[in-house]
Chains A and B, each alone.
Chain A
Amino acid sequence: MTDSERTSGVPGVIDNPWRTLSRHTDARIGLGRAGGSLPTAPHLEFQLAHARARDAVHLPLDSETMMATLNERFSQVVRLQSRAQDRGEYLRRPDLGRLLSDDSREQLAAMQVEQCDLSISVVDGLSARAIHEHAATLLDRLLPPIRERGWHIGPLALVEQGRVAIGDPIGEALGARMGVVLIGERPGLSSPDSLGVYFTWQPRSGRRDSERNCVSNIRPRGQSFEAATTLILYLLDEASRRELSGVELKDDSEVASQLGDGRGNFLLPDSAD
């Protein structure tokens, strides 16, 4: 018997009956095989997804629309630029993406904000799409409980060609006690729209990455907006109490985990059978 006679569908391809499990994950499981290799159809689907993800990296931030969206939610919104002039420079020079352009620094200084409890920055990062699609949704969940805490929120910054650390000079200029950066994460093949949130106690230029906490993969099919909001609030509350962030601020929250106790998945039946 040859390989092609054993298949249910495409000649030469051996299907995987466990493909039904793909309802539990976006991972590319049960792709089948041609010999030991990837069959033609999943191979070409991959090539298409890669081409799309490459294109997403280069999609520019729609600043006009985002300004309108953010102005509906904040009394003060400021549009800022990093020192990276364009996408090419942004990709090769991450150092420039962490610094504010001269114009942007002057703009912030002119606002004459001496201090605030919280500085929020919305940054394109590597996926403007994540910002276009999810920034407003997350802010709508996050803002009411933050306002309930009586914290003074500084002007909201919308930043083009920015990296995570650009929240530091922004928070510094606004005298912020805490900084939150919403940023487009680098697009994956299955997730060109993933939003990340980075939290820094006393954001100031020169902060190390180990002084930040991160909540990542926020998108409809990833970390839910609800769970992300709970985690971010936990970080804000704990940091306010302990006056620090980063690896010393362990995420010990007992957030209602989607994981349960890890049992109940099909590989681990509760009872012997």
Chain B
Amino acid sequence: MSCWYYDTGGRRYRFESLRELMACATPARSGDELAEIAAASGEERAAAQLALAEVPLARFLEEPLIPYEEDEVTRLIIDRHDAAAFRPVAGMTVGEFRNYLLCHDVGSEQLSRLAPGLTPEMVAAVSKIMRLQDLVLVGHKCRVVTAFRNTIGLPGRLSTRLQPNHPTDSATGIAASILDGLLYASGDAVIGINPATDNTGTVVTLLKMLDDIISRYAIPAQSCVLTHVTTAIEAIERGAPTDLVFQSIAGTESANRGFGIDLAVLREGHDAAQSLGRGTVGQNVMYFETGQGSALSANGHHGVDQQTLEARAYAVAREFEPLLVNTVVGFIGPEYLFDGKQIIRAGLEDHFCGKLLGVPMGVDVCYTNHAEADQDDMDVLLTLLGAAGCNYVMGIPGSDDIMLNYQTTSFHDALYVREVLGLKAAPQFEAWLAQMGITDHHGRIAIEGELPPAFAHALARSAS
């Protein structure tokens, strides 16, 4: 194992391993302090960043932060590494790699070709020496396009997940939020319910209901019930009309075991959804959620900083060619991301790292009521993510998730960011919105007094 030094102002900082160097170089974060691996001072952090900039990218292939023998995620990362794709940057240090990424002549195509040659540790390292504007700029260059019943991640597009959660899974309550979302132009990424229980019967019922709604209104979008992958497999066996299989994932084998999963069961879930062949314009069938701090929370962090572990989760994700991945950035709580400043930086790091690794990143721009954050912080993150070309964000009535008890972006928030940055919904969904009379020729909401006929009928039924 190597040792790293940096001398500054007569003081020598020594880092015993690449793992320690990475943890000390990472921007301040309550979760790394909780794990007792953070830099002890601001100067130590800056010294670690200066030392990290000198580390050759190739070093990360030789010195895995978590041993190959101990962890199947490390094995996945090393075994899947594409040396030919890596070649253009193989001789660079982390600092040189940052400069390369910022160059005008490095564009979307080069970055797409480079992705299989990059490991999570390399992209996490370079993110640690980048400012927010760098994360936005490079994120904006990356394009990861996926498809199922519509196409997500195209330039100039921002999709939304319509999240119609209800604390008792009430069919009518869920339907009310779906209608609200559709009439505010939300739902092209997915109409996705977090169910109140993991009861397989309930999951099957919700899947049928979503399938019926999508068919009846001919919505070019996909549905998902966000239940454990093993429950989804059971539901498929029971004949439930399943578009996407969901799972929360983390960046280490032991943290994944805390979620009750491993790579084999994810493969099983992926194959089960693929076997249904329900996509019309593509067959990306997985939906993953991640978040900094999940490995520490599951006591499976191996002394690695939470941002690097988060990037490792994207290596797990990309193995299964997902339609959607999102980092639920502020959901986990202040013990991992203490305040708005930490949440904002983490959201942009996650988007950047995921995109650079070739993962279709969305971000759940969110916070809990026990964190030091508010709507203003979310506005900053949302606007920056819009500028960074984020694939999708969440959409929920009035920012209030009454099932999961946290605040995420509202339908109105998505309209705001589309308006100021000139972004549009996924093309197939955009056409449907116009055809249904929900949006006008500017793509703005057209509904004033009267509802479009199909929905006016539904509303009339609700009153009867």
B176 A25 Cβ-Cβ under 8 A: yes
B199 A247 Cβ-Cβ under 8 A: no
Most buried by A among B165, B174, B402: B402
> Is B52 among interface residues, defined by CB-CB distance under 8 A?
no
> Is B448 among interface residues, defined by CB-CB distance under 8 A?
yes
A265 to B202, CA, bound (A): 16
A36 B398 Cβ-Cβ under 8 A: no
Closest 4 CB pairs of A and B: A28-B398, A188-B405, A262-B209, A36-B415
> Is B67 among interface residues, defined by CB-CB distance under 8 A?
no
Comparing A46-54, A134-142, A172-180, the segment that makes contact with chain B is: A46-54
A246 B180 Cβ-Cβ under 8 A: no
22 A–B contact pairs at CB < 8 A? A14-B448, A18-B451, A24-B462, A27-B176, A27-B177, A33-B412, A50-B369, A50-B374, A50-B375, A92-B334, A94-B34, A188-B369, A188-B404, A191-B405, A194-B405, A209-B258, A247-B230, A250-B198, A250-B234, A251-B198, A259-B170, A267-B216
B448 A6 Cβ-Cβ under 8 A: yes
B172 A265 Cβ-Cβ under 8 A: yes
Q: State the Cβ distance, B232 to closest chain A Cβ, in Å.
A: 12
A208 to B300, CA, bound (A): 11
Q: Which of B173, B178, B196, B334 contacts A223 (CB 8 A)?
A: B196
Q: Which of A21, A54, A215, A252 contacts B176 (CB 8 A)?
A: A21
A53 B369 Cβ-Cβ under 8 A: yes
> Is A102 among interface residues, defined by CB-CB distance under 8 A?
no
A6 B34 Cβ-Cβ under 8 A: no
A251 B200 Cβ-Cβ under 8 A: yes
A263 B209 Cβ-Cβ under 8 A: yes
Q: State the Cβ distance, A62 to closest chain B Cβ, in Å.
A: 19
B397 A29 Cβ-Cβ under 8 A: yes
> Is A144 among interface residues, defined by CB-CB distance under 8 A?
no
Q: In the complex where A38-B398, A217-B168 touch, is A56 in contact with B175 (Cβ < 8 A)?
A: no
A14 to B447, CA, bound (A): 9
A251 to B235, CA, bound (A): 13
A186 B459 Cβ-Cβ under 8 A: no
A96 to B463, CA, bound (A): 52
Find chain A residues with CB under 8 A from B400 CB: 27-28, 46, 49, 188-190
> Is A150 among interface residues, defined by CB-CB distance under 8 A?
no
Q: State the Cβ distance, B422 to closest chain A Cβ, in Å.
A: 13
Q: Which of B335, B338, B368, B402 contacts A190 (CB 8 A)?
A: B402
Kindly supply a per-residue 1/0 record for chain B positions 361-378, scoring 1 wherever the CB is within 8 Å of any chain A CB and 0 otherwise.
Answer: 000000011100011000
A247 B175 Cβ-Cβ under 8 A: no
Find chain A residues with CB under 8 A from B234 CB: 250
> Is A116 among interface residues, defined by CB-CB distance under 8 A?
no
Q: Which of A38, A50, A266 contacts B407 (CB 8 A)?
A: A50
A251 B197 Cβ-Cβ under 8 A: yes
B179 A21 Cβ-Cβ under 8 A: yes
Kindly supply a per-residue 1/0 record for chain A positions 212-255, scoring 1 wherever the CB is within 8 Å of any chain B CB and 0 otherwise.
Answer: 00011100011110010001000000000000001100111111
> Is B30 among interface residues, defined by CB-CB distance under 8 A?
yes
B148-204 contacts to A (CB < 8 Å)? 164-180, 183, 196-202
Find chain A residues with CB under 8 A from B174 CB: 25, 265
> Is A273 among interface residues, defined by CB-CB distance under 8 A?
yes
How big is chain B's contact interface, by range? 35 or more
> Is B461 among interface residues, defined by CB-CB distance under 8 A?
yes
A186 B196 Cβ-Cβ under 8 A: no
> Is A91 among interface residues, defined by CB-CB distance under 8 A?
yes
Q: State the Cβ distance, B178 to closest chain A Cβ, in Å.
A: 7
B449 A6 Cβ-Cβ under 8 A: yes
Closest residue on chain B to residue A38 by CB atoms? B412
> Is B403 among interface residues, defined by CB-CB distance under 8 A?
yes
Q: Which of B297, B402, B415 contacts A25 (CB 8 A)?
A: B402
Interface residues of B (CB under 8 A from A): 30, 34, 164-180, 183, 196-202, 205-206, 208-209, 212-213, 216-217, 228, 230-231, 234, 257-260, 297-299, 333-335, 338, 368-370, 374-375, 396-407, 410, 412, 415-416, 419, 444-445, 447-451, 455, 457-459, 461-463
> Is A80 among interface residues, defined by CB-CB distance under 8 A?
no
A268 B369 Cβ-Cβ under 8 A: no
Q: In the complex where A20-B463, A92-B334 touch, is A25 in contact with B445 (Cβ < 8 A)?
A: no
Q: In the complex where A36-B412, A254-B201 touch, is A186 in contact with B171 (Cβ < 8 A)?
A: no
Closest residue on chain B to residue A224 by CB atoms? B168
Q: Which of B169, B398, B403 contacts A259 (CB 8 A)?
A: B169
Closest residue on chain B to residue A43 by CB atoms? B375
Find chain B residues with CB under 8 A from A267 CB: 175, 178-179, 213, 216-217, 458
Q: In the complex where A210-B260, A231-B197, A266-B462 touch, is A30 in contact with B205 (Cβ < 8 A)?
A: no
Closest residue on chain B to residue A206 by CB atoms? B299
Closest residue on chain A to residue B370 by CB atoms? A57
A16 to B176, CA, bound (A): 12
A265 B397 Cβ-Cβ under 8 A: no
Q: State the Cβ distance, B196 to closest chain A Cβ, in Å.
A: 6
Given A14-B448, A266-B461, A268-B216, 6 more pairs with CB closer than 8 A: A24-B175, A38-B412, A251-B198, A261-B205, A263-B212, A265-B171
